[in-house]
Structure 1
Amino acid sequence: MVKLNKIYTKTGDDGTTGLVDGSRRPKSDSRVSAYGTVDETNAAIGLARCHAESGDDEMLARIQNDLFDLGADLATPGEVEGALRIEPSQVTRLEAEIDAMNAKLAPLTSFVLPAGTPLAAALHLARAIARRAERDSELAAQSEQIGAPALMYLNRLSDHLFVMSRYVNARHGGDVLWVPGANREE
């Protein structure tokens, strides 16, 4: 159980932050950047939830909890006994939810603009941030071990948020599609 009595510790005033194993890293470290961007993704999903209906909100709540698991995973370098890690079952759940939503959607005929309902637009923003979290995590994985399920989860998450935005827009008039060259002067 997490218990926080004091929010500021002043230990980061030197430009470092503590990882789960007790080691300290510069705040610019690639691992720290990766879990920081996961936190941004989580905050964007929290904003999306302000617009969500009940079934959508339940999916997003599960994802937010998973993102705390993912943050803990990324903040734990090396092999630490009992470390909280993303499990393949969490990736599989995302895939099942993607498949269920996608089965109700028409095939795409163009690229989708990040727009539509307030929920869909917020999901697109979360998707873009999740893609950055994936890039940051892949960069960190070039120099140290990051578990494959963590990287897979981020990849599926951005797919999930994309499909969910389409699913939401389908209930309210459909996707907002890109029209190539629509504003060119002839």
Structure 2
Amino acid sequence: MVVLNKIYTRTGDKGDTALGNGARVAKHDVRVEAYGTSDELNCFVGVARLHATDETDEALSRIQNDLFDLGADLCRPDMEKDAESEYPPLRMIGTQVDRLEAEIDVMNGVLEPLRSFILPGGTELAAHLHVCRTVARRAERLATELATQETVNDAAVRYLNRLSDWFFVAARVANNGGKDDVLWVPGANR
């Protein structure tokens, strides 16, 4: 159980922060950027939930919880030392990715195939889900950048990749099953 009695600690006043293993790094470190962006994404998901129906709200609630798991995973380097830890760190697992894929398949099953790229927009929920999609892509880019420098849990990267797909398909569902998608018209304003 987490207990937060005091919110400010002053330990980061000089521009560094603690990772999950206690190591201190710059607040602009790519690892901090990656898990910070997953936290930002979680906030946007919270805004999207304000416009969601019950079923979509339940799915977004699960995603918010997963995003906290993802942050816990990304803030903890040294995966190779996980087995030695007194308390094994929380890591994303394949079943979380599998769940997203199954949900995408169900949602996509009721949609007509796309014949054009779509522009972000349509309903309020769809517009918010498109914002979530792009922030998920940014988090994925940061996680893959981190993976070029340090070991990163493969399931975490796969989750982010699938999550942006989930938001795309969910936005189409939110747009009256794709009927209210805003289609891109190449060169329309030339």
Q: Could you tell me which of 165, 174, 177 is aligned with 1:168?
A: 174
SS at match of 1:12: coil
SS at match of 2:33: helix
Q: Which residue of 2 aligns with 1:97?
A: 103
SS at match of 1:101: helix
Q: Tell me, yes or no, if structure 1 residue 4 matches structure 2 residue 4.
A: yes
Q: Which residue of 1 aligns with 2:37?
A: 37
Rounded Cα–Cα distance in structure 2 between residues aligned with 1:136 and 1:172 = 30
Rounded Cα–Cα distance in structure 2 between residues aligned with 1:72 and 1:39 = 10
The worse-fitting range, judged by mean Cα deviation, of 73-82 and 8-17 is: 73-82
CA deviation vs aligned residue, 1:83-116 (integer Å, no higher than 9, x gap): 0000100000000000000000000010010000
Aligned residues of 2:97 and 2:159 also touching (Cα < 8 A):
yes
Identity of aligned residues (%): 58
Counterpart residue type for residue 47 of structure 1: V
Aligned residues of 1:105 and 1:170 also touching (Cα < 8 A):
no
Rounded Cα–Cα distance in structure 2 between residues aligned with 1:172 and 1:160 = 14
Q: Which residue of 1 aligns with 2:57?
A: 57
Q: Which residue of 2 aligns with 1:124?
A: 130
Q: Which residue of 1 aligns with 2:116?
A: 110
Runs of 4 or more, structure 1, over 2 Å off, are: 170-174
Aligned residues of 1:117 and 1:172 also touching (Cα < 8 A):
no
SS at match of 1:17: strand
Aligned residues of 2:111 and 2:178 also touching (Cα < 8 A):
no
Q: Which residue of 1 aligns with 2:153?
A: 147
Instruction: Tell me the matched-pair count.
Output: 184
Q: CA deviation at 1:173?
A: 3.8
TM-score after normalising by structure 2: 0.95
Q: CA RMSD in A?
A: 1.0
TM-score after normalising by structure 1: 0.97
Aligned residues of 1:19 and 1:75 also touching (Cα < 8 A):
yes
SS at match of 2:166: helix
Q: CA deviation at 1:174?
A: 2.5
The worse-fitting range, judged by mean Cα deviation, of 74-83 and 139-148 is: 74-83
The worse-fitting range, judged by mean Cα deviation, of 144-153 and 79-88 is: 79-88
Structure 1 spans left out of the alignment, 5+ residues = none
Q: Could you tell me which of 88, 91, 103 is aligned with 1:85?
A: 91
Structure 2 spans left out of the alignment, 5+ residues = none
